[in-house]
Amino acid sequence: MTTANEKGVALVFGGSRGIGAAIARRLAEDGHDVALTYVSRPDDAAAVAAEIEALGRRALAIRADSGDAVALRRAVEQAVDVLGPLRVAVVNAGVIRRGLIGEVSVDDLDTVLSINVRGVFLALQTAAARISNGGRLITIGSNTAIRVGSPGASVYAMSKAAVAALVKNVALDLAPRRITVNNVQPGPTETDMTDGMRDMILPRVPLGRLAAPREIAGLVSYLAGADAGFVTGTSFTIDGGFVL
């Protein structure tokens, strides 16, 4: 087991369940102390924190709405104050709203853009201000940025395409500090977002199954590690061939 802070501190925005929780656990396994944010499920966040501590790492669960700029800044500050210098930040928080173009309400549009675009930008901005030189910033986008193939996902796909474009440009901004910025684009994954959609999705996945959250976490682990030090501004799609 590595000693405390040998790897540094990782912060996972939206780390209380699903892919975010799997990422938080994997980063702890890799030797990081981990802070994670949540907005509505304190029990889930506490359970993930307990799993991290059981691995011998320090953990901190922080309530922070990804649409609230002040809350995001305070979350970063709290993570650094309690756990130490920030080395890795993963922006996982996101929402989905479906509907044909004539059915999407302004409220749904604003919600998706607020969390999936504005919230991602603010999380990157606040994390970049406190992350160590040579650190890692990683966003969790979606393969829908490349291809959807079915109606009703225009707003969600638009938001994830914006994230992919954002990452390319933030990577240029932070390159002088040797901070890498990359985007992971999962396809259909075993989370509550895919509940009730399995029968519709599976025929479209060449590998014939959904991803496990730990598989997405494995790609994040690579991007957060030393072997990915020359990789930046790139989107990595992990979807079982869905977009082929």
- Secondary structure (DSSP) of 99-135: --TTT--HHHHHHHHIIIIIHHHHHHHHHHHHEEEEE
Averaged confidence pLDDT in the chain: 94
**Residue 4, pLDDT above cutoff 50:** no
pTM of the model: 0.94
What distance separates the 2 farthest-apart alpha carbons in the chain? 55
Q: What is the mean pLDDT of residues 63-69?
A: 93
Using alpha carbons, select from 142, 139, 155 the residue that is nearest to residue 211: 142
Q: What are phi and psi of 79, to 5 degrees?
A: -60, -45
> β-pairing, 131-140 with 86-91?
parallel
DSSP-derived 3-state class of residue 148: coil
Which domains does the chain possess?
A: 9-238 (3.40.50.720)
Among 13, 38, 156, 242, the one annotated catalytic: 156
In this prediction, residue 129 carries a pLDDT of 97
**Residue 2, pLDDT above cutoff 50:** no
Residue, of 30 and 191, whose pLDDT is higher: 30
Q: What is the mean pLDDT of residues 146-161?
A: 92
Residues 6 or more apart whose Cβ sits within 8 Å of residue 175: 232
In this prediction, residue 58 carries a pLDDT of 98
Residue-wise pLDDT for 28-41, tens only, equals 999 999 999 999 88
pLDDT class of 146 with cuts at 50, 70, 90: very high
Q: Is 156 a catalytic residue?
A: yes
In this prediction, residue 7 carries a pLDDT of 78
pLDDT class of 199 with cuts at 50, 70, 90: confident
DSSP-derived 3-state class of residue 90: strand
Residue-wise pLDDT for 106-135, tens only, equals 999 999 999 999 999 999 999 999 999 999
8 A C-beta contact, residue 76 and residue 125: no
